[in-house]
Amino acid sequence: MLDAISFAFFNELKEIKNSWYRFSLITIFPLISFAILIVIFQEGVASKLPIVVVDNDKSQFSKRLLFNINASSTLDIKYRVSDTKEAVKLIKSTKAYALVEIPKHFQKDVLLNLQPKVTAMLNTQYILVGKIIKAALLESVVSSAAQIEYVKNLAKTKNVDESIHKIAPISLQVTPFFNTYKNYFLFLISALIPSVWQIFIVIATIVSFGTLFKAKREKIFFKDGHIEMKILGKLLPLTLVFTLMQIGFIFYMYGYKGWIFQGSLAVMVFGIFLTVIAYQSVALLLFVVGFDYTRSLSLGAVYTAPAFAFLGVTFPTSSMNYFALTWKSLLPVTYYMQLQISQANYGGDIFLEVDKLLYLGAFSLTLIIVFLRFRQRLGR
């Protein structure tokens, strides 16, 4: 049996060495994909988002409000126009993400306690950007209102402490959990990279066996029997490469980037290994449905490509319908991401990860069907 595994292992290495496409599929292509994603999201924190303002008052109070808005690290008053229609055109042309309009008599109404309304129009087609701008605008407006109220109170009481207490009788301390950096790089890349990684695992596995059957060399490869051992031996180089690839990503995120890994690296590595085996098992299952190389590649793409949307990272699983939850449960990367978040961010107890590891291991049971189908095919 060991001879069969060894034969298949070195035969696979030789095949990879002699094919630039297969070599690139497990090295250059995934690494380039990872690099592109990292470069796109390397900023991590949204800043200086362009907005347009219409100041119909041009008073000291309106200028103070706009100063506070522009002082925000999130917002940048890039355009100042006198007409609302012109401002809307800038938003439609995507030159600005939001419009802030200050009404006439703004300062007068503030002094008379008439509570003037500042209008903000957001392009919520960009949901994330819209939420960020909304939060930044609220913070700036509240800050400006507090400054104005403080000055008014100070003029009455002549007491600094009393003036502050009147504008803020209740204080709020907000402490962020887990992603304490409030960084979108950590939030998105930690899920995007595994989503791309699992695509390459499936495609590389199908290509490995698909090219063997396409060239009609399967009978030569399996001529001495030990079918199961040779399948495992042929999978082994890919298993090692993709396991090391994801381990390297974990070290990049929580070593080079400086974020703290809270849990057990041993559990994480074991989870990565099980995830690779799970996807290789599913890839072979897709292939043995009809031993059709082209069709199995298409099935692999359909199965893996939408994975990011079903992880529950950017869209809560509690709001998903039955179909989405079912599809999510059929993806090994779902359980891997739960494990990664639990270990990397929460430092979860090892015993709490057993169910996730069992789910990942369960996918490898599909190899039983794969072995039976190979025997049937080669027997004919």
Q: Would the pLDDT of 234 be above 70?
A: yes
**Whole-angstrom distance, CA of residue 13 vs CA of residue 116:** 73
* The pair of three-digit structure tokens given for residue 279, joined into one six-digit string: 């996807």
356 with 278, same domain: the answer is: yes
350 with 273, same domain: the answer is: yes
CATH number where 122 lies: 3.40.1710.10
Contact, 221 vs 212, CB < 8 A? yes
Domain-embedded: residue 137: yes
35 with 96, same domain: the answer is: no
207 with 326, same domain: the answer is: yes
Domain-embedded: residue 177: no
189 with 288, same domain: the answer is: yes
223 with 317, same domain: the answer is: yes
53 with 30, same domain: the answer is: no
243 with 352, same domain: the answer is: yes
Task: Write out the residue range of the structural domain in which residue 239 sits.
Answer: 2-42+183-379
Q: Would the pLDDT of 169 be above 80?
A: no
pLDDT digits (tens, 9 = 90+) for 240-295: 999 999 999 999 988 877 788 888 999 999 999 999 999 999 999 999 998 899 99
| Domain total of the chain | 2
Domain-embedded: residue 240: yes
189 with 314, same domain: the answer is: yes
289 with 150, same domain: the answer is: no
pLDDT digits (tens, 9 = 90+) for 176-199: 666 665 677 887 898 999 999 999
Domain-embedded: residue 173: no
How large is the average pLDDT for residues 67-80? 87
157 with 216, same domain: the answer is: no
214 with 263, same domain: the answer is: yes
